[in-house]
Chains A and B, each alone.
Chain A
Amino acid sequence: MDLEYGPEYQEFTKEVQAFCKKYKGLSFIDSHKTPFGTSGESGGPKMLRSKWQKILIRKGYFARSVPKEYGGYGGEADMLKSRIIAAEFSKSKTPTPMGGQGIDMLVPTLLEMGTEQQKQAYIKPTLHGEMIWCQGYSEPNAGSDLASLQTKGELIGDEWVINGQKIWTSTAQFSQMCFCLVRTEPDAPKHAGISYLLIPMDTPGIEIRPLVDMTLMPGFNEVFFTDVKISANNIVGKRGEGWTVANATLGHERGSLAPPDATMNRVNMLIHLMKKETLDDKPLIEHPIYRDRLMQIQGKVLAQQSHALRLLSAKLNPGTDVKIGKMIQKLIGTELRHELEGLAIDIMGEIGTLYENSPHIRNEGTWQFIYMYFLGLIIGGGTSQIQKNIIAERGLGMPKEPKVQGA
Chain B
Amino acid sequence: MYFGLSEEQSFFKDNIKKYLDDNATLDSIRHITNGDEKNLSREIHNGLLNLGINSLLIPEKYGGLGLDLLFAAVVSESLGGGIGPVPFIAPYVIAPKAILEAGSSEQKEKYLSKIAVNEALFGVGFSEFIGKRNDAGVSFSNGALNGRSMFVLDAQTATHILLADKKGRIFIVEINSNNIEIVNLTTVDKTRQYAEVICKDLEAEILIGSENSQEPIIKAIDAGRIMLAADTLGAAQTMINKAVDYAKERKQFGRVIGSFQAVKHMCAEMAADLEPCYALVWHAAHCHDHSPSEARLMACHAKSHTSEMGKGIAKKATEVHGGMGFTDLLGLHYWFKRIGVNRQILGSPELVREEAIQSQLK
- Residues on A lying within 8 angstroms of B by beta carbon are 1-6, 80, 271, 285, 288, 291-292, 294-296, 298-300, 302-304, 306-307, 309-310, 312-314, 316-317, 320, 324-325, 328, 331-332, 385, 387-389, 391-393, 395-402
Partner of B271, one of A295, A306, A391, A402: A391
> Which residue from chain B places its CB closest to the CB of A332 in the assembled complex?
B272
Partner of A306, one of B259, B265, B276, B356: B276
Known contacts A299-B301, A391-B272; decide if A399 and B259 are in contact (CB<8 Å): yes
Known contacts A303-B305, A392-B265; decide if A399 and B271 are in contact (CB<8 Å): no
B283 in contact with A309 (CB, 8 Å): yes
Residues in B whose Cβ lies below 8 Å from that of A285:
357, 361
Bound CA–CA A161/B256 (angstroms):
46
The stretch from B1-9, B98-106, B117-125 touching chain A is B1-9
A313 in contact with B276 (CB, 8 Å): no
Q: Which of B281-339 contact A (CB under 8 A)?
A: 282-283, 286, 290-291, 297-298, 301, 304-305, 308
Residues in B whose Cβ lies below 8 Å from that of A312:
1, 3
> Which residue from chain B places its CB closest to the CB of A304 in the assembled complex?
B276
Q: A299-B301, A299-B304, A389-B265 are in contact. List 19 more A-B contacts (CB 8 A).
A: A3-B1, A80-B1, A285-B357, A292-B350, A295-B301, A295-B356, A299-B356, A302-B305, A306-B283, A307-B279, A307-B280, A310-B3, A310-B4, A314-B4, A388-B269, A392-B264, A395-B268, A395-B271, A401-B260
B276 in contact with A332 (CB, 8 Å): yes
13 residue pairs of the A-B complex, CB under 8 angstroms, read A1-B2, A6-B1, A288-B354, A291-B354, A292-B350, A292-B354, A300-B276, A306-B276, A328-B276, A392-B267, A395-B268, A397-B248, A400-B259
Distance in angstroms from B239 CB to nearest chain A CB is: 13
Residues in B whose Cβ lies below 8 Å from that of A331:
268, 272
Q: Which of B172-208 contact A (CB under 8 A)?
A: none
Residues in B whose Cβ lies below 8 Å from that of A292:
350, 353-354
A2 in contact with B2 (CB, 8 Å): yes
Distance in angstroms from B253 CB to nearest chain A CB is: 10
Partner of B265, one of A2, A6, A385, A395: A385
A391 in contact with B268 (CB, 8 Å): yes
Bound CA–CA A1/B68 (angstroms):
10
Known contacts A296-B308, A303-B305; decide if A310 and B261 are in contact (CB<8 Å): no
Residues in A whose Cβ lies below 8 Å from that of B248:
397-399
Residues in A whose Cβ lies below 8 Å from that of B265:
385, 388-389, 392
Distance in angstroms from A309 CB to nearest chain B CB is: 5
Q: 4 closest A-B pairs (Cβ-Cβ)?
A: A299-B305, A306-B279, A313-B3, A392-B264
Distance in angstroms from B294 CB to nearest chain A CB is: 9
Counting CB contacts under 8 A, is B247 at the interface? Answer: yes
Bound CA–CA A325/B273 (angstroms):
11
A307 in contact with B276 (CB, 8 Å): yes
Q: Please count how many residues in chain B sit with their CB below 8 Å of the partner chain's CB atoms.
A: 48
Counting CB contacts under 8 A, is B277 at the interface? Answer: yes
B282 in contact with A320 (CB, 8 Å): no
B279 in contact with A303 (CB, 8 Å): yes
Known contacts A309-B283, A310-B278, A325-B275; decide if A401 and B301 are in contact (CB<8 Å): no
A309 in contact with B255 (CB, 8 Å): no
Counting CB contacts under 8 A, is B70 at the interface? Answer: yes
Partner of A401, one of B261, B271, B308, B361: B261
Counting CB contacts under 8 A, is B56 at the interface? Answer: no
B259 in contact with A389 (CB, 8 Å): no
Residues in B whose Cβ lies below 8 Å from that of A393:
264
Bound CA–CA A318/B156 (angstroms):
47
B271 in contact with A3 (CB, 8 Å): no
A389 in contact with B261 (CB, 8 Å): yes
Bound CA–CA A325/B271 (angstroms):
9
Distance in angstroms from A173 CB to nearest chain B CB is: 36
Residues in A whose Cβ lies below 8 Å from that of B286:
1, 3
B304 in contact with A295 (CB, 8 Å): yes
> Which residue from chain B places its CB closest to the CB of A331 in the assembled complex?
B272
> Which residue from chain A places its CB closest to the CB of B294 in the assembled complex?
A302
Bound CA–CA A306/B282 (angstroms):
9
Counting CB contacts under 8 A, is B258 at the interface? Answer: yes
A291 in contact with B278 (CB, 8 Å): no
Counting CB contacts under 8 A, is B244 at the interface? Answer: yes
Residues in A whose Cβ lies below 8 Å from that of B357:
285, 291, 294-295
B280 in contact with A398 (CB, 8 Å): no
Residues in B whose Cβ lies below 8 Å from that of A320:
4
Contact with A along B241-261 (1 / 0, CB 8 A): 000100110000001101111
Q: Which of B210-237 contact A (CB under 8 A)?
A: none
Bound CA–CA A394/B275 (angstroms):
15
> Which residue from chain A places its CB closest to the CB of B270 in the assembled complex?
A396
Distance in angstroms from A347 CB to nearest chain B CB is: 14
Bound CA–CA A360/B282 (angstroms):
43
> Which residue from chain B places its CB closest to the CB of A309 in the assembled complex?
B3
A309 in contact with B2 (CB, 8 Å): no
> Which residue from chain B places its CB closest to the CB of A326 in the assembled complex?
B275
Residues in B whose Cβ lies below 8 Å from that of A387:
268
Residues in B whose Cβ lies below 8 Å from that of A395:
268, 271
Bound CA–CA A285/B360 (angstroms):
12
